[in-house]
Amino acid sequence: MLRVLFGLGALLAAVLAGGGAAMAAPPPAPWTKTNLQTTKIAPVETTRWGLLVGENDSRIWLNPFNGVYTSNDLGDSWQQLGLNQRGVTDIASTNNTIYASTYYHVGGENGLFLSGDGGKTWQHKAGNFSASVVAADQSTALLGAYSHGLWVSNDAGNTWAQKMGDGFFGPRVYAAEAAEDIAVVALESQTFVSRDHGGSWSEVAPLSGKSVRFIELSNGVIFVSGSGMGVYKSSDDGLTWERVSGWGDGAAGAVAHHKSKIYLAVKDSGNKLNIVKSADNGLTWESTQFDLTTFDGIVTDISWLFSIPEYLFITVANIGTYRYQIPQPEIETFRFLNPPWDMQNQQELIEKIYSFFDHEYPLLGYPYHTEPANTGNTTLNFLGDRNTQPYMYYSSHDGYDFSLRESTPVLASAGGIAHYEFQPNGLGHSITIDHQNGYQTIYGHMQSSGLIAGTNDVMVNTGDVIGFVGNSGNSTGPHLHFAVTKTGSPSARVDPYAWQAEIFSAGPKPDPWENYAWTDQTGPHTGSKSPYLWNTTTNTVTKYISPVEQSTLALGNKALVMDKDTSYGGFTIYISPGFTPRVTDALLSYIAGTSTIINAYENLGGPIAAFLKPITIEIDLTNANLDDVKQNTLSIYFWNDSTQRWEALQSFFNLDDKKITAQTFHFSHFAVMGEVKNAFEDAAAVKNATFTVQ
């Protein structure tokens, strides 16, 4: 939580030099002002229930609301939530509780209020004094006062003990933070740290005499900043400190840390507010182009909200609340590959995947290095999903297995020199194409007939038929093994889908294979960075859902229908094509083209385990091949990660419009399956009927 911004001198003006602007001129994109009308806002806090801000307007004669506002649509609309007339000075939250510190006495109460239902009801828990700041994690809560010192709770805010000050008297607390067993508070010119959940406190000597006004704790790193002191950082729980380069003793303001980036509020000598960011712990800085010129406005707080794309929200005193669209992580691309078969639609690039490239250890068949035991039973795919068989195949895999029918023509993904090889205990009949650009593609398990290359290498063009899907070598059924390597072995194995996990992660999530290193009898090796190599992309659907709206989302032949109030707060939904399921039940058959993966993320980035109301899933089977299944047994199945099984939802299949529907309280991987027809069973279609499958 970040609170106040002071002026920054000529140093910032030199770093972020630019033309002047009119007072409170609107910032350019990617910043936009939210629709909150009040301007006397101090804190902003992202909670699982929604985005909260607190109003603290000292102009009591105007009868301001002076309570908590909430938004569940990324700041487009706001509603009054509670604590009216109390003057909200700060807000903090944990997964289950909202903490709000207040200034004014109302009904004989002020100080700290707690809510466990998203702000619908509040309980007075501490104080009866004007509180200045509040901070909380799962084990420690801190309450700072204007003249009553510091109070600490270790039972989720139910009981409190004064740790700085004596009864009615105590120092003013200007800033406080608690996270990951560390707590930090700042007084007028002293900063203290606790490593025992607020039980005891020691002064931070390097910060003595400095006016710390902003504190950020993230991933074991502490950042502090304030007027006339610049920015300081500690990476060892506050034992040692170093000045973040670039600011000297100039004034620096509110600071936040998100996904390995530091965000810092600054104000130059020309009264221009800005938010700058650093990806190298403060060595270099880049403007986010906020650039708001104002004489009396200061940035009072910054908060981050998970969505796709993600957002920062800041409050500027006397002006309003702003939203910044955080650029999505850049994925390196080198597009030159076409899919190795004639796709019927773009979704097949995902839907036909049967086995993934394992980003933990893609060294299948490499004889000189053994896979670590802790990754030996799991596969980590390019989306950052880790799972075991039978859901996800398979550990150490160095490429992709595509579920294609036997005798499907295999196409050259790009032009180059084709080389044939036969490995009876490996890829069987395979073709390797050197594309003369540092990359090679490998096509395995093909039929012995129709191969484009034999004894002699040949030149091929993009799209040439180089063979046919088969079952040769070490294979359990017809499929195409496809792999990409760069010049060099073994560490040159790459994933053509790149590494996309950070797009869907609330925090940093680097590619393990890119950072993998080992030494064997052939020498030292490191993994490889995987750029996106396909010329085509698949369609996905992403939307931030407000709980007060009804929504219908569609991706190809799949659709979701959601009633309002399905969740306690806004959330982000992500729909993508799903890979081909591994069906272990011999009586069941997967219906191609129906696999879809649906995820929902709350405001803090965590997955939503269950919804308050059922959500309808509808899949259109008009173009599906249903000849081999009993149509009265069709159901929408979901993968149950707890039981490690595909389980059926109660489904309704209408033979007139060929649509199958089901309802679910949770999201997962979904696919349509049905019982395989008996060879002696009458295959006549049943018409004009609607089946209910229990």
pLDDT of 10: 27
The C-alpha torsion from 323 through 326 and 327 to 329, rounded to 10°, is -160
- Mean pLDDT for the stretch of residues 526-553: 94
Statement to judge: residues 319 and 339 lie in one domain: no
User: What angle (nearest 5°) sits at the alpha carbon of residue 625, between those of residues 624 and 626?
Assistant: 105
| pLDDT over 50 at 348, yes or no | yes
| Residue 415 forms part of a structural domain | yes
Same domain, residue pair 384 and 527: yes
Q: Above 90 in pLDDT, residue 193?
A: yes
Structure confidence by residue, pLDDT tens digits, 254-264: 888 888 888 99
In CATH, what number is assigned to the domain containing residue 508? Answer: 2.70.70.10
Does residue 3 sit within a domain? no
DSSP label of 574: E
pLDDT of residue 536: 94
Any domain includes 566: yes
Which residue would you say has higher pLDDT here, 246 or 313?
Answer: 313
Confidence of residue 362 (pLDDT cuts 50, 70, 90): very high
pLDDT for the residue 27? 52
pLDDT for the residue 247: 64
Q: Which of 240-249, 358-367, 432-441 has the weakest average pLDDT? A: 240-249
What's the pLDDT at 503? 82
Distance, CA of 637 to CA of 674 (rounded, Å): 9
Q: What is the pLDDT of residues 42-97, one digit of tens each?
A: 899 999 999 999 999 999 999 999 999 999 999 999 999 999 999 999 999 998 89
Q: Between residues 219 and 644, which one has the greater pLDDT? A: 644
Residues 423 and 523 in one domain: yes
**Number of domains the chain is built from:** 3
User: Which of 366, 353, 319, 373 minimizes the C-alpha distance to 23?
Assistant: 319
The residue among 503, 534, 565 that closes a domain is 534
Residue written as tokens 């993998």? 516
Is residue 349 domain-resident? yes
- Are 545 and 513 within one domain? no
- Contact predicate 645/669, CB 8 Å: no
Q: Is the pLDDT of residue 5 over 50?
A: no
CA–CA separation, 530 and 508 (whole Å): 17
What is the structure's pLDDT at 218?
Answer: 82
Q: Say if residue 13's pLDDT is above 50.
A: no
pLDDT of residue 26: 54
Q: Are residues 621 and 569 in the same domain?
A: yes
Instruction: Give the pair of three-digit tokens for residue 522.
Output: 């052939």
pLDDT band at 452 (very low <50, low <70, confident <90, very high): very high
* Whether residues 389 and 519 fall in one domain: yes
Cβ pair 612, 567 in contact under 8 A: yes
Regarding whether 319 and 430 lie in a shared domain, the answer is no
Both tokens of 137, joined, read 């994690």
Sheet containing 41-46: order of strands: 41-46, 51-55, 68-71, 79-82
Q: 584 with 459, same domain?
A: no
Each residue's pLDDT tens digit, 585-636: 889 999 999 999 999 999 999 999 999 999 999 999 999 999 999 999 999 9
CA gap 392, 305 in Å, rounded: 31
Q: How confident is the model at residue 330 (pLDDT cuts 50, 70, 90)?
A: confident
Please indicate, yes or no, whether residues 395 and 506 belong to a single structural domain of this protein.
yes
CB under 8 Å to 640, separation ≥6 — which residues? 646, 647, 668
Q: Is the pLDDT of residue 468 over 80?
A: yes
Task: Provide DSSP, 278-343.
Answer: ESSTTSS-EE-S--EE-SS--EEEEEEE-SSS-EEEEEETTTEEEEEEPPPPP--EEEEEPPSS--
Question: What is the mean pLDDT of the segment spanning 520-534?
Answer: 94
For residue 277, give the nearest of 301, 255, 297, 307 by alpha carbon: 255
pLDDT in tens, 370-417: 999 989 899 999 999 999 999 999 999 999 999 999 999 999 999 999
Q: What is the pLDDT of residue 2?
A: 33
CATH code, domain carrying 619? 2.60.220.30
- 194 vs 8, higher pLDDT: 194
**5 occurs within a structural domain:** no
Please tell me whether residues 419 and 486 are part of one structural domain: yes
Please tell me the least confidently modeled range out of 7-21, 189-203, 439-453, 497-511.
Answer: 7-21
Q: What is the pLDDT of residue 230?
A: 80
Domain assignment present for 4: no
Yes or no: say if 596 and 670 are a contact pair by the CB < 8 Å rule: yes
Amino acid at position 289, single letter: Q
* 552 shares its domain with 472: no
Strand 333-337 versus strand 532-534 pairing type:
parallel
- % of the chain beyond a pLDDT of 70: 92
Full domain range(s) for residue 680: 541-693
> Which of 508, 534, 560 marks a domain boundary?
534
pTM: 0.88
Count of CB atoms situated within 10 Å of the CB of 200: 10
Distances (CA, A) of 482 to 303, 356, 418, 442, 513: 44, 10, 14, 6, 18
Q: How far apart are CA 622 and CA 529, in angstroms?
A: 41
What CATH number is given to the structural domain containing 47?
2.130.10.10
Do 347 and 252 share a structural domain?
Answer: no
Tell me the average pLDDT of the chain. 89
Phi, psi of 632 (to 5 degrees): -80, 0
pLDDT for the residue numbered 412? 98
Please report whether residue 2 resides in a domain. no
User: Of 279, 302, 325, which closes a domain?
Assistant: 325
Most confident segment among 37-41, 285-289, 442-446 = 442-446
* Domain assignment of residue 607, yes or no: yes
For residue 578, which of 595, 600, 553, 558 has the smallest C-alpha distance?
Answer: 595
* pLDDT at residue 180, as a whole number: 80
